[in-house]
Amino acid sequence: MQYGEILAGAVGREKTYGSIGGRIRPADFTYCRVSTDDTAGRVRAYVGEGEHTGPITTFGGYGVARIPRLQDLLRHICAGGYEHHVAINPSRVAGVVQEAFTRYLGWTCTTTTRGRGVKDATRSQGRSQWQKTR
């Protein structure tokens, strides 16, 4: 644990303790963001997989990531009004997370799949329906 160096300039160092610092080790990972669409009264998410790669020298909690179809994902995040901070897990479980969100919770869940662009999965009448978003 350490002090958040960037935020400290705005709110004071003593108010930023609790940041995690250090380099993320190279490994596969799953990322996920869950958001509420308050005006539509629904929960939506995006999930995908990537790989943390080689070293970089900087500060804070950091790493270099390789994410397939990153430009498509970033376009979807911006166009959809999603927040960009995500949770990560050091494993490849995006398919399972997406199934849980869509099949069991009924949420819309977007994923970037290799070679297929960005897709939305939603639960409708007991089965998943896939729609190309862009």
Which position has the token pair 């960037």?
6
How much is the mean pLDDT over the chain?
82
What are the pLDDT digits (tens) for 65-108?
A: 999 989 988 998 999 889 878 999 999 999 999 999 999 999 99
Please give the C-alpha separations between residue 93 and each of 8, 13, 24, 49, 99, in angstroms, as whole numbers.
35, 37, 18, 8, 10
Distance CA 125, CA 97 (A): 20
| Predicted pLDDT of residue 19 | 77
92 token code pair = 């490849």
Question: Which of these ranges, 35-44, 101-110, 113-122, has the smallest mean pLDDT?
Answer: 113-122
Which position has the token pair 């430009």?
71
| Predicted pLDDT of residue 128 | 35
Distance CA 102, CA 17 (A): 36
| DSSP tag of 100 | I
- Pick 51 or 134 by higher pLDDT: 51
Give percent above pLDDT 90 in the chain. Answer: 44
The alpha carbon dihedral of 30, 83, 61, 59 has a sign of positive
pTM beyond cutoff 0.85: no
| DSSP tag of 41 | T
**Dihedral (Cα; 39, 34, 134, 49), 10-degree rounding:** 180
> Is residue 122's pLDDT more than 60?
no
103 token code pair = 């099949």
